[in-house]
């Protein structure tokens, strides 16, 4: 070649050589890192993890129907989501990472189109390949009228994606806004939604076989192939679930036990499981330890000791007393403020024994973007301030407040009685109303309901403040029955503020929601937040690698090691 | 040497209320082929005496003394295994109520074969053959078919025949019959007695006939024991006893016998109750009921002694011989008068 | 005998209908809304209406009951659980082996214990053995099963660590049970439950057998057997036992019915998911189909078992068998 062209050629070849060298070194380095990691990882593998579930059962393990925290804890081990939570403790465990997807999606400029590219070579537990169709099917199962229920509606999924409403109404075969071609998956949203990626981290959206059927059975499909670290090998509703390691999963999450056996005992109070854990006959109880034993267990085993057996983890939930903003006297904001002063958070938490939770008077919980701690009402009763507010409220002859509670729980019964006593201190009458133990929410979710104070709470569906504030306090969602806003709080100014915050992203979004949180609890006060609860649980002596997830409120089952 | 010789047999039972003296010194002897009648009221100790002889009393609660010699061997207090060899093979016993004396859930063939197989080393077929044979001997019709029936399928008389068959199948030398006909009607009773006499003749068997029925005794027995309050109160050959009973109790027994040729308005009863064996009366145990009682009776127990008649006829009574003879003559005359009045 | 059997069968069918009808009525008289319960926590108006229709709750009671019977006879179906949609028939199929293991295993256990003790006590009244047996009887009859179970769990299971603290393992070896299957594990996990369950019944039966044996020993035919020269052991085994056990057979029939109820306590204490604990948790959750299903099954089982016991008794006692 002519001399003029030789320099670029030389540079090119140097560049290529460097690239090759760098890649080789990099691969070698990661290979060593992997093999070191692999060696310690292999040591944790093996054995059968024996899990009990006292005082409860799974209502379903079908990802198209599961909506309760214990169901999701199991689905986390079997689902392969586009984006998922890693097996890491603390804050790191709350950061989604792309698992089935090669990377986070490309988002169009108008914010309405999300494109995912799946990794190649992904397989279900039956060996069949995972394509984009798997995720389209998952979406359709959470919204299909042919399923027992369409829980997608509760998170407004039907209005989120183009064509979802028509599909939900049975007017379309597929959701037109979801395009699945080979390993490429595209979502067309009706409007920009910064929470969309977080939503995809929910356990509704694990990959399922495109042939996985719709069913009207409340338990859904019992056994099906899945793409996560484990798959359901057998499922006897209300009794036993057996998960086995999925040999086709090659992702970074742990696959420690060979097998996970979960036995449910809806009738038990957890005492038996606790004894069995102490005797190494059971490894972990999903119900945690009974509240009455908290003090003794803490004393015997210490709390959160390294390699210890007793653990206390904070859940991403807030426990609150809901106020009925549509019924006197809780329709008066000063009365609601007075109650926030009068009732007293710490005494109620103490009813549950040590380490039961941290008092809060906020709606948002630590870990959520936008959480900024503030204290408005204090943790202990302040009758002076309460009384002052009441006189300011100027409510003549306030009617007796109706405290609604579930008599099946001794704790709730005590709490209701305590509240009644506290109200008496500030001159307010209260009546206690028992709910049907098996149907607590029905009555309060119905418009026109007659409760004033009702114990309730909320746990994160996904890690975005929208899920706490907009979902619960947007009064425009109020309907005849099935209300999520069972506070019947509807304030047009606050609605506008919520809409605005929802449209932001990044830091601006976080700041906006922090402000909304404070505004809500200092100006409008629709509820009485009590505490952020903990999950107190024991593991058997042989259990290692306990990684607690704030999101699920359980230790990651696939990470527990009994090998 | 007598086949069965009993000397001064005493049986006492320990109860929560105290010691019951059921048998207080009974002696007799039984020869081969003879029949001994034993008469007395309920509670006289007649059954207990022979249960003791057989070793069938519950030794946890009983104290037994005296001597029982069978064929020269002392069997009182002998080991259970030696007694088991004798019972059912050399000494047989039948009981009062045939309804309850047979095992209701076993076929009678099984029960008869059991009797055979306990004492004979033979095959089942041979045992069965013998069972059919003995049933025929006791006059059970269609014995070969009925051998497979259950006890409840037989009438009372038939059942008693089966009991007798069971006791006789091993050809015992002694048969102790404890009130065998009391539960049966008069016609059947006659048949059974006739049968027993026939068998006795054929097998040269000694029989002890325990009964409260003097008529039965009259028909079958050679010798008679009259028992009262756990003791023998009169002992004689049967003819002598009926001809001249020597004791007021025996007079009472005889007087209470219905007679065909007498129509009295009421049978003569012996007034009062049998004595308590727990706290027997001092002196003669009959004294509370005796019409002829006097002071000595209440103080001293009369010995079983022979009277004027001879050594064979013994009785317990303090009455002087002349008194006794006079009273009996008077009674006899009265009975004869009744008879002729009818 | 044939007439006896026919009469018993007819009676059994009648009882079955009465029991199921009463259960059905009870559940519809109590003030709960089955549709609301079946709907669950995340309910909508549309879902409730749909459920009400599919469960035929809009029909009058007698029609619902008729549908239930028809379903039962025609499809052998008992409906579906409100809580998790499982077929009730399947649920019972899972629960029944647990309860059967407990009850029948326990029955064998208690008979094995009570028969020898009862007989020995009868043979040696007022001896040390007899007095010890009577103390055992007193404790067994007085102490509640729950208390006994908890004491056994705490002392033998927890402190001494000799047995597992609860749970039930299937007798059939299975690869999906996490090591808790096979005859050895099955029996090992059942030791404490059997001991708890059988305590009461063993006590009752010791007393019963002791009384029966003592009574039989004083029967005339026993005296006859002795008079025939039978040895004490022959008398016992050939003459006394069969006769004194006949009433035990009858009582056993009654007691299996009792036992099914008593199993509830044992199952709950030992975390065994059998018919008893299922019945309790379903009743507490107002899960009507499961409750009715279990009642139906239990009725059938008790009636059937008593029927067999009656037949067995008639067979064993020739006085009944051969009466015309």
pLDDT digits (tens, 9 = 90+) for C23-50: 777 776 666 676 776 666 666 666 777 7
What is the CB neighbour count within 10 angstroms for residue A215?
19
* Partner residue opposite C83 with nearest CB, options A233, A238, A482: A238
- When computed from its CA atoms, the radius of gyration of chain A, rounded to whole angstroms, is 26
User: Chain C contact for B59, CB < 8 A?
Assistant: no
Residue among A536, A103, A13 nearest A304 (CA): A536
| Residue C158 belongs to a domain | yes
* Partner residue opposite A237 with nearest CB, options C44, C86, C277: C86
User: Chain A contact for C113, CB < 8 A?
Assistant: no
Mean pLDDT estimate for chain A:
89
Q: Tens of pLDDT along A387-400?
A: 999 998 888 888 99
HEC string for A513-536 = HHHHHHHHHHHHCCEEEEEEEEEE
DSSP annotation of B331: H
Chains A and B touch (3+ CB pairs under 8 A): no
Backbone angles phi, psi at C30, to 5 degrees: -70, 150
What lies within 8 Å, CB to CB, of C304 at 6+ separation is: C12
Residue among B337, B312, B334 nearest B246 (CA): B312
Give the chain B residue whose CA is nearest to the CA of C216: B103
E strand or H helix at A107: strand A106-107
Contact C229 B87 (CB under 8 A): yes
For residue B54, which residues of chain C lie inside 8 Å, CB to CB? 227
Q: Which of C46, C157, C161, C166 to mutate to test the interface with A (most CBs of A within 10 A)?
A: C166
b/e C105-121 (16+ beta carbons within 10 angstroms → b): bbbebbbebbbebbbbb
What is the CB neighbour count within 10 angstroms for residue A437?
14
| Residue C288 belongs to a domain | no
Q: How far is CA C64 from CA B58, C24, C80, C268, in A?
A: 67, 9, 15, 32
| Residue C77 belongs to a domain | no
**pLDDT value for B10:** 92
A438-444 long-range contacts, CB within 8 A, separation 24+ = A438/C32, A438/C37, A438/C284, A438/C285, A438/C286, A439/C32, A439/C33, A439/C36, A439/C37, A440/A406, A440/C41, A441/A486, A441/C41, A441/C42, A441/C43, A442/A481, A442/C36, A442/C39, A442/C43, A443/A404, A444/A322, A444/A324, A444/A404, A444/A486
User: Chain C contact for B102, CB < 8 A?
Assistant: yes
* Nearest-neighbour CA in chain A from C251: distance (Å): 31
* Nearest-neighbour CA in chain C from A477: distance (Å): 14
| Six token digits for residue A430 | 């209260």
Sort strands A317-323 and A527-538 into parallel, antiparallel or unpaired: antiparallel
Q: Which of residues 149-168 of A touch C (CB under 8 A)?
A: 149, 151, 154
Sort strands A184-188 and A113-117 into parallel, antiparallel or unpaired: antiparallel
pLDDT at residue C239 is higher than 60: yes
Q: How far is CA A455 from CA A405, A414, B37, in A?
A: 7, 12, 97
For residue C34, which residues of chain A lie inside 8 Å, CB to CB? none
Q: Decide: A404 and A322 in contact? Cβ < 8 Å.
A: no
pLDDT at residue B139 is higher than 70: yes
For residue A481, which residues of chain C lie inside 8 Å, CB to CB? 43-45
Contact C178 A259 (CB under 8 A): yes
pLDDT band at A27 (very low <50, low <70, confident <90, very high): very low
* Nearest-neighbour CA in chain A from C305: distance (Å): 28
Q: Decide: A538 and A289 in contact? Cβ < 8 Å.
A: yes
| Residue C302 belongs to a domain | no
Whole-angstrom Cα distance, residue A505 to residue A498? 13
Give the chain C residue whose CA is nearest to the CA of A154: C42
Task: Please give the average per-residue pLDDT across C147-158, as a whole number.
Answer: 90
Does a cis peptide bond (omega within 30 degrees of 0) precede residue A404?
no
Sort strands A83-84 and A97-98 into parallel, antiparallel or unpaired: antiparallel
* Partner residue opposite C221 with nearest CB, options B84, B93, B102: B102
User: Chain C contact for A267, CB < 8 A?
Assistant: yes
For residue A234, which residues of chain C lie inside 8 Å, CB to CB? 176
Q: Tens of pLDDT along B299-311?
A: 888 888 877 667 7
**pLDDT value for B292:** 84
Pick A68 or A495 by higher pLDDT. A495
For residue C271, which residues of chain A lie inside 8 Å, CB to CB? 265, 268, 272-273
Sort strands B223-228 and B35-39 into parallel, antiparallel or unpaired: parallel
What's the pTM value of the predicted model, to 2 decimals? 0.77
Report the number of distinct structural domains present in chain C.
1
Owning domain of residue C189: 95-276
Q: Tens of pLDDT along C82-139?
A: 777 788 999 999 889 999 999 989 889 888 988 999 998 888 888 888 888 888 888 8
pLDDT at residue A365 is higher than 80: yes
Q: Tens of pLDDT along C260-275?
A: 777 888 888 888 889 9
Q: Decide: A47 and A563 in contact? Cβ < 8 Å.
A: yes
Backbone angles phi, psi at A155, to 5 degrees: -105, 20
* Nearest-neighbour CA in chain C from A113: distance (Å): 31
Q: Which of residues 24-83 of A touch C (CB under 8 A)?
A: 48, 50, 57-60, 67
Q: Tens of pLDDT along A181-198?
A: 999 999 999 999 888 999
Pick from A54-58, A296-300, B318-322, C259-263: least confident: C259-263
| Six token digits for residue B235 | 């002992």
The three-class DSSP label of residue A289 is coil
For residue B106, which residues of chain C lie inside 8 Å, CB to CB? 238-239
Q: The domain spanning residue C136 has which CATH number?
A: 1.10.3720.10
Pick from A30-44, B228-242, C297-311 the range whose average pLDDT is largest: B228-242
Give the chain B residue whose CA is nearest to the CA of C125: B60
Give the chain C residue whose CA is nearest to the CA of A265: C271
Pick A317 or A23 by higher pLDDT. A317
The three-class DSSP label of residue C148 is helix
Whole-angstrom Cα distance, residue A26 to residue A8? 26
**pLDDT value for A563:** 77
Pick A15 or C6 by higher pLDDT. C6
pLDDT band at C64 (very low <50, low <70, confident <90, very high): confident
- The partner residues of A401 in beta bridges, in order of sequence, read A430
Give the chain B residue whose CA is nearest to the CA of C127: B60
| Residue C313 belongs to a domain | no
What lies within 8 Å, CB to CB, of A44 at 6+ separation is: A254, A256, A544, A545, A561, A563
User: Chain C contact for B95, CB < 8 A?
Assistant: yes
Domain boundaries, chain B: 98-169, 244-341
E strand or H helix at A231: strand A230-236
ipTM of the complex: 0.83
Whole-angstrom Cα distance, residue A205 to residue A185? 13
Residue among A274, A250, A278, A246 nearest A259 (CA): A246
For residue B94, which residues of chain C lie inside 8 Å, CB to CB? 227
pLDDT at residue B37 is higher than 90: yes
For residue A57, which residues of chain C lie inside 8 Å, CB to CB? 83-84
| Residue C198 belongs to a domain | yes
* Nearest-neighbour CA in chain B from C104: distance (Å): 28
Q: Which of B52, B101, B162 to mutate to test the interface with C (most CBs of C within 10 A)?
A: B101
Q: Which of residues 395-424 of A touch C (CB under 8 A)?
A: none
* Nearest-neighbour CA in chain C from A77: distance (Å): 17
What is the CB neighbour count within 10 angstroms for residue A500?
11
For residue A237, which residues of chain C lie inside 8 Å, CB to CB? 81, 84-86
Contact C224 B95 (CB under 8 A): yes
Q: How far is CA A530 from CA A340, A345, A374, A382, A554, in A?
A: 9, 5, 14, 15, 21
What is the CB neighbour count within 10 angstroms for residue A45?
15
| Six token digits for residue A264 | 């449910």
**From chain C, which residues contact B within 8 Å (Cβ)?**
219-221, 223-232, 234, 238-239, 242-243, 246, 316-319, 322
pLDDT at residue A8 is higher than 50: no
Q: How far is CA B118 from CA A231, A471, B169, B264, in A?
A: 72, 94, 11, 52
Pick from B1-10, B29-38, C67-76: least confident: C67-76
| Six token digits for residue A120 | 């190649």
**pLDDT value for B309:** 66
DSSP output for B5-39: EEEEEEEEEEETTEEEEEEEEEEEEE-TT-EEEEE
CA B113, B114, B120, B124 dihedral sign is positive
Q: Which chains touch A (3 or more CB pairs under 8 A)?
A: C
Contact C318 B152 (CB under 8 A): yes
For residue A275, which residues of chain C lie inside 8 Å, CB to CB? 153, 157-158, 165
């Amino acid at each position: 070649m002519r001399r003029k062209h030789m320099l670029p050629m030389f540079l090119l070849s140097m560049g290529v050589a460097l690239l090759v060298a760098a890649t080789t070194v990099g691969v070698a380095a990661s290979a060593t890192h992997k093999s070191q990691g692999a060696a310690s990882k292999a040591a944790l593998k093996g054995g059968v993890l024996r899990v009990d579930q006292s005082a409860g059962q799974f209502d379903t393990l079908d990802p198209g129907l599961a909506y309760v925290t214990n169901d999701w804890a199991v689905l986390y081990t079997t689902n392969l989501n586009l984006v998922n939570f890693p097996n890491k403790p603390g804050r790191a465990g709350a950061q989604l990472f792309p698992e089935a997807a090669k990377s986070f999606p490309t988002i169009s400029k108008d914010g309405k189109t999300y494109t995912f590219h799946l990794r190649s070579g992904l397989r279900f537990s039956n060996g069949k390949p995972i394509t984009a169709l798997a995720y389209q099917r998952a979406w359709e199962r959470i919204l299909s009228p042919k399923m027992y229920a369409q829980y997608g509606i509760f998170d407004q999924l039907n209005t989120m994606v183009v064509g979802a409403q028509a599909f939900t109404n049975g007017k379309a075969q597929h959701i037109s806004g979801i395009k699945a071609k080979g390993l490429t998956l595209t979502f067309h949203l009706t409007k920009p939604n910064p929470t969309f990626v977080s939503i995809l981290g929910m356990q509704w959206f694990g990959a399922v076989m495109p042939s996985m059927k719709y069913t009207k059975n409340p338990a859904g499909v019992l056994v099906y192939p899945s793409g996560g670290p484990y798959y359901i090998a057998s499922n006897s509703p209300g009794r036993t679930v057996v998960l086995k390691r999925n040999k086709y999963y090659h992702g970074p999450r742990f696959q420690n036990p060979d097998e996970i056996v979960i036995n449910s005992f809806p009738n038990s109070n957890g005492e038996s499981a606790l004894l069995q854990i102490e005797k190494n006959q059971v490894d972990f109880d999903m119900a945690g330890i009974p509240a009455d034993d908290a003090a003794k267990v803490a004393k015997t085993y210490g709390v959160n000791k390294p390699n210890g057996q007793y653990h206390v983890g904070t859940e991403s939930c807030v426990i609150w007393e809901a106020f009925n903003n549509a019924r006197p006297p809780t329709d008066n904001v000063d009365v609601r403020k007075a109650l926030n002063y009068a009732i007293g958070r710490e005494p109620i938490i103490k009813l549950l024994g040590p380490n039961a939770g941290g008092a809060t008077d906020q709606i948002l919980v630590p870990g959520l973007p936008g959480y900024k701690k503030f204290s408005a009402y204090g943790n202990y009763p302040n009758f002076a301030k309460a009384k002052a507010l009441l006189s300011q409220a100027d409510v003549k002859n306030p009617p007796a407040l109706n405290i609604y509670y579930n008599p099946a729980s001794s704790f709730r019964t005590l709490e209701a009685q305590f509240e009644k006593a506290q109200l008496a201190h500030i001159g307010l009458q209260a009546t206690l109303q028992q709910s049907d133990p098996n149907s607590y929410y029905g009555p309060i979710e119905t418009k026109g309901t007659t409760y004033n104070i009702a114990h309730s709470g909320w746990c994160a569906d996904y890690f975005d403040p929208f899920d706490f504030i907009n979902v619960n306090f947007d009064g425009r969602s109020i309907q005849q029955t099935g209300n999520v806003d069972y506070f019947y709080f509807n304030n047009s100014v606050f609605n506008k503020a919520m809409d605005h915050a929802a449209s932001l992203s990044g830091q601006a979004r976080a700041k906006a929601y922090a402000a909304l949180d404070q505004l809500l609890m200092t100006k409008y006060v629709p509820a009485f937040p009590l505490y952020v609860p903990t999950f107190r649980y024991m593991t058997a002596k042989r259990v290692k690698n306990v990684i607690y997830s704030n999101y699920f409120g359980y230790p990651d089952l696939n990470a527990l090691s009994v090998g | 040497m007598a086949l069965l010789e009993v000397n001064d047999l005493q049986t006492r039972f320990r109860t929560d209320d105290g010691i019951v003296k059921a048998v207080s010194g009974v002696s007799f002897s039984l020869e081969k082929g003879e029949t001994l009648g034993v008469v007395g009221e309920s509670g006289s100790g007649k059954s207990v005496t022979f249960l003791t002889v057989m070793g069938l009393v519950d030794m946890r609660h009983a104290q037994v003394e005296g001597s029982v010699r069978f064929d020269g061997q002392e069997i009182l207090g002998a080991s259970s295994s030696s007694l088991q060899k004798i019972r059912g093979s050399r000494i047989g016993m039948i009981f009062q109520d045939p309804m309850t004396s047979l095992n209701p859930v076993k076929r009678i063939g099984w029960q008869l074969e059991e009797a055979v197989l306990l004492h004979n080393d033979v095959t089942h077929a041979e045992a069965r053959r013998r069972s059919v044979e003995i049933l025929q001997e006791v006059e059970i019709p269609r014995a070969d078919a009925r051998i497979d029936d259950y006890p409840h399928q037989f009438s009372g008389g038939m059942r008693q025949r089966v009991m007798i068959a069971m006791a006789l199948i091993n050809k015992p030398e002694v048969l102790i019959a404890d009130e065998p006909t009391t539960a049966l009607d008069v016609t059947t009773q006659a048949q059974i007695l006739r049968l027993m006499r026939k068998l006795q003749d054929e097998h040269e068997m000694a029989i002890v006939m325990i009964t409260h029925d003097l008529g039965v005794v009259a028909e079958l027995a050679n010798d008679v024991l009259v028992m009262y309050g756990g003791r023998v109160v009169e002992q004689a050959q049967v003819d002598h006893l009926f001809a001249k009973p020597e004791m007021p109790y025996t007079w009472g027994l005889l007087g209470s016998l219905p007679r065909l040729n007498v129509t009295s308005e009421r049978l003569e009863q012996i007034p009062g109750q049998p004595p308590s064996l727990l706290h027997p009366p001092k002196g003669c145990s009959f004294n509370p009921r005796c019409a002829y009682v006097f002071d000595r009776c209440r103080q001293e127990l009369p010995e079983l002694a022979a009277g004027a008649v001879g050594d064979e006829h013994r009785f317990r009574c303090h009455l002087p011989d002349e008194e006794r003879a006079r009273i009996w003559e008077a009674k006899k005359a009265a009975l004869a008068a009744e008879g002729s009045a009818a | 005998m044939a007439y006896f059997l026919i009469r018993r069968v007819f009676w059994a069918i009648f009882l079955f209908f009465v029991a199921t009808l009463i259960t059905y009525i009870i559940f519809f008289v109590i003030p709960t809304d089955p549709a609301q319960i079946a709907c669950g926590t995340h309910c909508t108006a549309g879902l409730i209406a749909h459920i009400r229709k599919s469960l035929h709750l809009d029909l009058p009671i007698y029609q619902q009951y008729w549908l239930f019977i028809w379903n039962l006879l025609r499809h052998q179906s008992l409906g579906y659980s409100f809580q998790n949609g499982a077929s009730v028939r399947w649920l019972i199929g899972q629960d029944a082996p647990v309860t059967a293991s407990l009850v029948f295993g326990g029955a064998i256990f208690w008979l094995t214990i009570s028969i020898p003790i009862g007989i020995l006590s009868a043979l040696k009244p007022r001896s040390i053995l007899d007095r010890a047996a009577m103390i055992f009887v007193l404790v067994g009859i007085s102490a509640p099963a729950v208390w006994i179970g908890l004491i056994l769990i705490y002392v033998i299971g927890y402190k001494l660590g000799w047995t597992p603290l609860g749970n039930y393992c299937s007798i059939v070896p299975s690869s999906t049970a996490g090591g808790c299957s096979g005859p050895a594990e099955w029996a090992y996990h059942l030791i404490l439950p059997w001991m708890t369950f059988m305590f009461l019944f063993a006590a009752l039966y010791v007393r019963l057998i002791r009384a029966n044996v003592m009574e039989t020993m004083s029967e005339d035919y026993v005296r006859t057997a002795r008079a025939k020269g039978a040895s004490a052991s022959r008398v016992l085994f050939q003459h006394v036992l069969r006769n004194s056990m006949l009433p035990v057979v009858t009582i056993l029939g009654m007691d299996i019915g009792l036992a099914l109820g008593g199993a509830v306590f044992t199952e709950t204490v030992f975390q065994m998911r059998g018919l008893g604990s299922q019945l309790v948790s379903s009743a507490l959750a107002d899960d009507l189909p499961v409750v009715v299903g279990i009642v139906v099954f239990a009725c059938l089982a008790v009636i059937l078992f008593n029927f067999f016991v009656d037949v067995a008794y008639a067979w064993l006692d020739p006085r009944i068998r051969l009466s015309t």
